[in-house]
Amino acid sequence: MVTTVRTNCPRDCYDACGIVVEVREGGRHRVLGDPEHPIARGKLCSKCALAYNGVWQDPQARLLTPLKRSGARGSGAFTPIGWDEALATVAARMNDTVARDGAAAILHTHYSGTLGLIGFLFPNRLFNYLGASEVDPDTICNAAGHVAWTLLFGNSVVGFDPRTARDSACILVWGANPSHSAPHAHEHWLREAPGKIVVVDPIRTESAAQADLHLQPRPGTDAALAFALLHCLGRDGRFDHAYIDAHTVGYDELRADIERATPAWGEAMTGVPAVDIEQAAAFYGAGPALLWAGQGLQRQRTGGNVMRAIGLLPALTGNVGKPGAGFSYLNLAPIIAGLDLDWLGGAPIARAGGKKVSHMELAERLAGDEFKVFFSWNTNPLASAPEQARLRAALAREDLFTVCCDVFMTDTARHADIVLPAASFLEGEDLTFGYFHVLMGAQAKVCEPPGEALPNAEIFRRLARTMGLDEPALFEDDAALIATMMAQMDLGFDFAELKRRGHHAFGDEPLQPWAEQHFATPSGRIELASAQAEAMGLPRTPQPWADDEPPAGRFRLLSPASKWRMNDSYANDPHAADRSGPPAVHLNPSDAAGLGLHDGSAVTLANASGRVPLVARLDDGVLPGTAVAYKGRWPSLEASGTNVNFVHTAQAADMGASSSVHSTLVTIEKA
Ligand SMILES: Nc1nc2c(c(=O)[nH]1)N[C@H]1C(S)=C(S)[C@@H](COP(=O)(O)OP(=O)(O)OC[C@H]3O[C@@H](n4cnc5c(=O)[nH]c(N)nc54)[C@H](O)[C@@H]3O)O[C@H]1N2
Ligand SMILES: Nc1nc2c(c(=O)[nH]1)N[C@H]1C(S)=C(S)[C@@H](COP(=O)(O)OP(=O)(O)OC[C@H]3O[C@@H](n4cnc5c(=O)[nH]c(N)nc54)[C@H](O)[C@@H]3O)O[C@H]1N2
Ligand code: SF4
Ligand SMILES: [Mo]
């Protein structure tokens, strides 16, 4: 007998798809897109269609019981143990550490495995209550952009409602690649938008190829490009001076920089032809216009400055808070819905004393003896973090006790002392959300977890109990958490009804989040010039900077989102791995010729952080001087035992101690 269950995809993805599962007793379930979901429209992305019907349901691949290491770290030798022994072992080490070294000697790291709100946030309650240290999750992804747009707009997590594209004359997609990272936005939203589409990306992505105009700047030159666009907009009378006077501060401090940034100067600084700069400014200036700032964009040494610079476009043209106008970095539906995420993550019960560690310093800090317990859950740093060689060496420390909680035997799990098996999103209830579209979804339980796997929250409730803790917030069950969140959202119906509907979209008409023109900055206005920035040691105003071209013999390596993997998830799905092919580096044919390479030549990328062998692919969509190798492979599954993060240099960006992965420089040698 086949029944169907409606649920939602909780991956770290712009699309937030609705799902329908055909449940087959005793067999594989079929996981499909929900035909009634406005984004999914009956289809999952190609990677999830493979992985949710593949490795996610494969009992051979899933972690089924807790495990205890029985061989060398990284060897993958483990003995199955029961939950009682696993939790007793972890609890004892954590309690001992608290007693001997203080809770700050426990370092936990977590991120984007599931973004189901309970699975994503509830485990933080335990670490917050203890006063443990945390690897700041956003430092691997988007912290620079958050700091930049908080300085500028006072908020970086509320953006335009994508439905407002119907009123827009232009959508400027700057440093996002929807064809990989938001496949439904690529296929439907951008194609159906009536306005002109302009994509700014050093790679001719599928989204760029499909756009009305593709600006292809050299990586790290975006701030200069933004100023050249502003020059054209100002010159052509496209600035909204009434808006500037009423809602911004600091315009006078920018004027000279904008005047100097002629299109010819812009071409020299960025490599984008002056005529294309003019054309992009004309499209955007026709207004109303939308600006979508990707997360890839700000993963640069001066990524914060880039974000502040491009944010000047909506500010000076008054493209804020009216139909068809706006800007978006993230657009967190839970915030718009009124959810109290601090409560969910345990801020009210937090004890002081825990340290924050940036991913950019993780390998270095773990190598010392500051931390005694390293607890990784919902993330796989031994695939996703920089400086892989150093990080692995640090995790080999005999006096460091490592716990990993995941759905699969990842590289991080292989290096752990104790592995805790997590249930997947098909196996428990939760709330899901959009961070581009304004949607909340119900995560319904489709089936029982395989083996003894448990949902994240249940694992941490049991651990807290085993540790002998008695704070009630550590034991709140999922039903109570969901009921509280439903009450906070006040949708007028309960979770059972949300499960029946699948999702909730806020209103039939596009929301206008900035219509009130309230900005949570010190002045209450958009801060084109910022005293706060100055106090942080940053320039008062965004600067028209452009990175130099790489020195001779070196290439700028971009390693953005892969079409076939979700971060480092699905690397272990055989069909997704087949589609993605061997690990490759895409090079401009002229660079390949200079290096004596053909399509398929074996090459090695190298720098002071490490080396990674790859296969060269000739690709005229990549700029000369640039190399592209998509992220997300598991070193343990590669013949070389490496991935691109072996050459990912841990250099913090200018803001937020955040990743500058797309500023990585490498040499390329024929192997
Ligand atoms: N070179 C390079 N590296 C990058 C980036 C880049 O652009 N280039 N991007 C960075 C970015 S933006 C990010 S966000 C990070 C993401 O890096 P990660 O957080 O490591 O990536 P994910 O694949 O999202 O999730 C990690 C793990 O969560 C597990 N998981 C899934 N569901 C659950 C669950 O319900 N419970 C538990 N316990 N585990 C679960 C998955 O099996 C997976 O192993 O990678 C960063 N790394
Ligand atoms: N399929 C798939 N989808 C994903 C993910 C995934 O791994 N796979 N990861 C998810 C996560 S965690 C995140 S954070 C998002 C990230 O998704 P996006 O926001 O799209 O970010 P990236 O894929 O890192 O990079 C996007 C584009 O930025 C470009 N870029 C790099 N450097 C520069 C530059 O200097 N200037 C400009 N203008 N562009 C530049 C890259 O060439 C790339 O095409 O995607 C999410 N969705
Ligand atoms: S990962 Fe994104 S595109 Fe794929 S099914 Fe999930 S929400 Fe949709
Ligand atoms: Mo991310």
Q: Tell me, what's the pLDDT at 283? A: 98
Contact, 98 vs 106, CB < 8 A?
yes
CB neighbourhood size of 519 (10 A)? 21
Joined tokens for residue 210: 């499909």
The phi, psi pair for 307, rounded to 5°, reads -65, -40
Angle between helices 222-235 and 274-286 (to 10 degrees): 60
Q: Which fold has domain 67-140+341-505?
A: Rossmann fold (3.40.50)
pLDDT at residue 352 in the model = 97
Peptide bond before residue 288 is cis, with ω within 30 degrees of 0: yes
The CATH architecture annotation of domain 2-57 reads: Single Sheet (2.20)
* CB-CB contact of 166 with 191 (8 Å): no
- The answer to whether the CB of 626 is under 6 A from ligand 2 is no
The letter for the amino acid at 391 is: L
Q: What share of the chain is helix, strand, coil (3-state, %, to 5)?
A: 35, 20, 45
Question: Which residue among 15, 142, 177 is best mutated to probe the pocket of ligand 2, counting the most ligand atoms within 8 A of its Cβ?
Answer: 177
DSSP label of 73:
T
Q: Which atom of ligand 1 is nearest to the CA of 664?
A: 1
Of 6, 17, 20, 568, the residue with max ligand 3 atoms within 8 A of its CB, to mutate for a pocket test, comes to: 17
Alpha-carbon distance 485 to 529, whole Å? Answer: 38
Strand arrangement, sheet containing 213-215: 213-215, 196-200, 170-174, 289-293, 326-328
Phi, psi of 317 (to 5 degrees): -100, 0
Backbone angles phi, psi at 462, to 5 degrees: -65, -35
Q: What is the rounded radius of gyration, in angstroms, for the C-alpha atoms of the chain?
A: 24
Kind plus residue range of the DSSP H or E element containing 200: strand 196-200
Structure tokens at 614: 């790859």
| Positions of the chain with pLDDT lower than 70, given as ranges | none
SS3 121: helix
Give ligand 3 pocket residues (Cβ under 6 A).
9, 11, 13, 15-17, 44-45, 48, 183-184, 566
Task: Work out the angle at residue 196's Cα, subtended by the Cα atoms of residues 507 and 221, and round it to the nearest 5 degrees.
Answer: 105
Superfamily (CATH) of domain 143-329: Dimethylsulfoxide Reductase, domain 2 (3.40.228.10)
Closest ligand, as measured to the CA of 183:
3
- Rounded to the nearest angstrom, the distance between the alpha carbon of 553 and the centre of ligand 1 is 32
pLDDT value at residue 25: 84
Q: For residues 166 and 105, what is the distance between their CA atoms, to the nearest angstrom? A: 52
User: For residue 181, which ligand has an atom nearest its CA?
Assistant: 2
> For residue 593, what pLDDT is reported?
98
Mapped onto helix, strand or coil, the DSSP state of residue 432 is strand
- 3-state secondary structure (DSSP) of residue 297: coil
| Boundaries of every domain in the chain | 2-57, 67-140+341-505, 143-329, 555-670
Q: Which one-letter DSSP state was computed for residue 472?
A: G
CA-closest residue to ligand 2 atom 44: 177
Does residue 233 have its Cβ closer than 6 Å to ligand 1? no
Ligand 2 pocket mutation pick from 139, 204, 295 by most atoms within 8 angstroms of CB: 295
The number of beta carbons lying within 10 Å of the beta carbon of residue 88 is 15
Q: Is 644 in the pocket of ligand 1 (CB under 6 A)?
A: yes
- pTM for this structure? 0.98
Among candidates 471, 542, 441, 544, which has minimal Cα distance to 225? 544
Query: What is the distance in angstroms between the CA of the first residue and the CA of the last residue of the chain?
Result: 55
What is the architecture, at CATH level 2, of domain 555-670? Beta Barrel (2.40)
CB 45 within 8 A of CB 15: yes
Cβ of 567 closer than 6 Å to ligand 2, yes or no, is yes
Amino acid at 114: T
Cα maximum dimension of the chain: 71
Both structure tokens of 402: 């490592």
SS3 375: strand
By DSSP bridging, strand 356-357 and strand 133-135 are parallel
Residue 415 has a CB neighbour count (10 Å cut-off) of 26
> Of all protein residues, whose CA lies closest to atom 5 belonging to ligand 3?
44
Residue type, 223: A
Would you say how long the chain is, in residues?
671
**Nearest ligand to the C-alpha of residue 662?**
2
Cα–Cα separations (whole angstroms), residue 205 to 351, 469, 606: 46, 51, 25
Q: What confidence tens digit (pLDDT) does each residue in 472-518 have?
A: 999 999 999 999 999 999 999 999 999 999 999 998 999 999 999 99
Distance CA 576, CA 347 (A): 39
Q: Tell me: the pLDDT tens digits for 128-150? A: 999 999 999 999 999 999 999 99
Pocket test for ligand 2, best of 112, 140, 181 (most atoms within 8 A of CB): 181
Q: Does 562 contact ligand 2 (Cβ within 6 A)?
A: yes
**Rounded to an integer, what distance in angstroms lies between the CA atom of residue 75 and that of residue 55?**
22
Compute φ and ψ for 120, nearest 5 degrees.
-85, -35
**Amino acid at the residue 307:** M
Atom of ligand 3 nearest to the CA of 14: 2
The helix (run of H) or strand (run of E) holding residue 241 is: helix 241-247
Alpha carbons 279 and 214: distance in angstroms, whole number: 10
In angstroms, the CA 87 to CA 317 distance is: 57
Spatial CA neighbour of 237 closest among 346, 179, 316? 316
* CA dist., res. 153 & res. 526, Å (int): 5
Give the rounded distance of the alpha carbon of 627 from its chain centre.
21
